[in-house]
């Protein structure tokens, strides 16, 4: 059985075209015309490997649907929408989407982005293949009461005894920064490393994911000390001792 995909789209033609194309790619596809139906499907049948969500749905819009999914799940989510205003793009990413594709789109663009997202998901959920060896861990904050520890191989970030709930994209951003501690990575570099070929050259997607990441790992997100902004250059990870 192929990877599972949920398409949440109220346009019958777009949904049908996506389904046929994705089934040709080997995906096991489920579809929903409304957000409520999609959420019910997740409750009854489990979480798919990836989701495609439109923003313009019925009574519950795509933004709300994504937020509801994000309450409990890290499933990679791609938004497809005719709404390409900057506010809509940022709002979708803030809600928890991993990527945003504007209609009309090429099917090959969707499939390429889905492959990239699934690679990120596999990285985030990977476990050390050598059980006799302790996985490499990165101490990001040495607070004696609640240290912040990143385990790239283990796919986890822990604050004290609690595992933090990061999306696959947030986790990948943190891993990329942690791989070069003290070094500034530009937004362009992060786009190339994480999104493979970028996001229409739009660097704002990096800012949104960094902002969301900070709300989860920083002691005070309004005054970040771990993932810091270097004005005009990009972002740098400063481990706290």
Residue 232: is the preceding peptide bond cis (ω within 30°)? Answer: no
Backbone φ and ψ for 130, nearest 5 degrees, come out as -110, 90
By the 10 Å C-beta count (0-12 exposed, 13-18 middle, 19+ buried), 213 is classed as buried
pLDDT at 205: 81
The rounded distance, in Å, linking the Cα atoms of 81 and 84 is 7
**What fold is seen in the domain 138-237?**
Arc Repressor Mutant, subunit A (1.10.10)
Does residue 85 contact residue 43 with C-beta atoms inside 8 Å?
no
Residue pair 79/67 in contact (Cβ under 8 Å)? The answer is no
Q: Where are the domains of the chain?
A: 4-125, 138-237
Query: DSSP assignment, residue 130?
Result: -
Helix axes 168-178, 187-194, angle to 10 degrees: 120
What is the DSSP pairing of strand 50-54 with strand 28-32? unpaired
Joined together, the tokens standing for residue 212 give 């969301």
Tokens of 1: 């059985």
d(CA 220, CA 59): 36
What separation in angstroms does the CA of 15 have from each of 12, 49, 80, 135? 5, 18, 11, 42
What is the CATH number assigned to the segment(s) 4-125? 3.40.50.2300
Q: Give pLDDT, residue 1.
A: 58
Return the closest-CA partner of residue 232 out of 199, 203, 193: 203
What are the structure tokens assigned to 193, written together? 């490393």
User: What Cα–Cα distance (Å) separates residue 104 from each residue in 6, 99, 107?
Assistant: 19, 15, 10
Chunked into runs of 10 residues, the chain (241 residues) has average pLDDT values of: 88 92 91 95 92 92 94 88 81 87 84 76 52 66 91 88 87 91 91 64 79 93 94 90 67
Cα(199)–Cα(195) distance, integer angstroms: 7
Among candidate residues 75, 105, 116, 84, the one with its CA nearest the CA of residue 202: 84
- Quote the pTM value: 0.70
């Amino acid at each position: 059985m192929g990877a599972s995909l949920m398409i949440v789209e109220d346009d019958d033609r777009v949904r049908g075209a996506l389904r046929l194309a994705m089934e040709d790619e080997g995906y096991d596809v489920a579809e929903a015309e409304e957000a409520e139906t999609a959420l019910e499907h997740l409750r009854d049948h489990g979480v798919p490997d990836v989701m495609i969500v439109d923003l313009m749905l019925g009574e519950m819009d795509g933004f709300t649907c994504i937020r509801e999914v994000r309450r409990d799940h890290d499933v990679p989510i791609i938004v497809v929408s005719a709404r390409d205003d900057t506010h809509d793009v940022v709002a979708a990413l803030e809600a928890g989407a991993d990527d945003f594709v504007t209609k009309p789109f090429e099917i090959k663009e969707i499939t390429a982005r889905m492959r990239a997202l699934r690679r990120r998901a596999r990285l985030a959920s990977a476990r050390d293949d050598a059980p006799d060896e302790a996985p490499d861990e990165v101490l990001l904050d040495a607070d004696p009461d609640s240290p912040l520890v990143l385990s790239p191989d283990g796919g986890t970030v822990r604050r004290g005894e609690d595992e933090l709930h990061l999306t696959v994209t947030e986790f990948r951003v943190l891993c990329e920064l942690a791989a070069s501690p003290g070094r500034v990575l530009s937004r362009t570099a992060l786009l190339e490393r994480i999104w493979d070929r970028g996001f229409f050259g739009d660097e704002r997607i990096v800012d949104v994911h960094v902002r969301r990441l900070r709300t989860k790992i920083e002691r005070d997100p309004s005054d970040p000390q771990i993932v810091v902004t270097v004005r005009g250059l990009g972002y740098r990870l400063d481990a706290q001792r």
